[in-house]
A = this chain, B = another copy of it.
Amino acid sequence: MPGLKILVDSLEQIEPLNQEARAAILSADCVVRSYAAGRYVLRENDRADFIGIAIEGFAFSHKQTSSGSRQILSLILPGEALALENIYLNQLDCSIQALTTFSVGLIHRDAMKRFMMLHPTIANGISTMLAYRSSIYKEWMLNIGRRNAKERVGHLLCEIAVRLTGGNTTADRSFKFPLTQEQIGDALGLTAAHVNRAMKSLRNEGLLIREKTLFRLPEWDALCVLADFNDEYLTNE
C-alpha cells in the first residue's frame, strides 16, 4: 500500500499522529491505479467517491468553459493528495487528468470520513492540506489576473522548481517536468503561441534554458525578481 504510507508521512509532517490514527490509515482500503498520459483520473460532476494520493508521475486538475477552452487549476506532484474536496462535496468540481504515466492510490471518502471522525489529528491534517492548496489557488489567481505573459511563465517555472526540489536546490535550479507549451498556456490563461514568445524572451535574457523536458533556471534571483515570485505561499510558515 504505497499510497497509504505516503499519506501517513504527509500527515505526520503537519502534526504527529498517535499509534491508533496511524494504524487506522494504514489499514484502509486503497486501490492503486495507473493511468497513461492524457487519461482522465476523475471527471467533473462525477460522484465524489474517492480521494487520491499521487504515487508516481504527474497529473493536473482543470475545468473547461462551454466553448471548450481549458483552464488548468493545479499541478499534482508525487506525494501530494488530490481531490480532498471530495470528502466534503458530493460532486467533483473539476476534472483530474494524468500528465504523464501516473499512478495513484484511491481511498474511499467514507473511509476517510470515518478516520477523521475518530481521529481529530487526521481531520486537522487533511484540512491543512486543503488550506495549502488554497494558498496556491490564490497565488495563481493573482498570477493569471494581474501579471503579463513573461511574468506568468517565469512565476510558474519558479513554483514548479520549488515544489519539485523543495529546499534541495541544485546549482542551476534545474528540474525535469514534462509540460508542453500548450499546457503551460492552459495553466496561465495564455495561448501556446504566446507562451512560446514569453519563453523565447526569457531564454534570450539568460533566465531559462530548456532541453526537452529539462528546465534550467540559471539566474534564479533575477528570475524571481522578474516574475515577482516569493515562495512564502508554498511554505506556509
Contacts and interface: CB of A to CB of B under 8 A. Distances in A.
Contacts of A135: 85, 89, 93
A205 interface: no
What is the oligomeric copy number?
2
Interface stretch (A35-43, A64-72, A172-180, A194-202): A64-72
A47 to B, nearest CB: 11
A108 interface: no
A88 B146 contact: no
Contact of A128 (B63, B88, B138, B233): B88
Most buried by B among A67, A124, A132, A140: A124
Query: Range of interface residues on chain A?
Result: 35 or more
Interface in A200-231: 228
Interface stretch (A4-12, A24-32, A98-106, A115-123): A115-123
A228 B67 contact: yes
Most buried by B among A88, A135, A237: A88
Interface string A37-77: 00000000100000000000000010111110111010000
A1 interface: no
A78 interface: no
Most buried by B among A87, A89, A147: A89
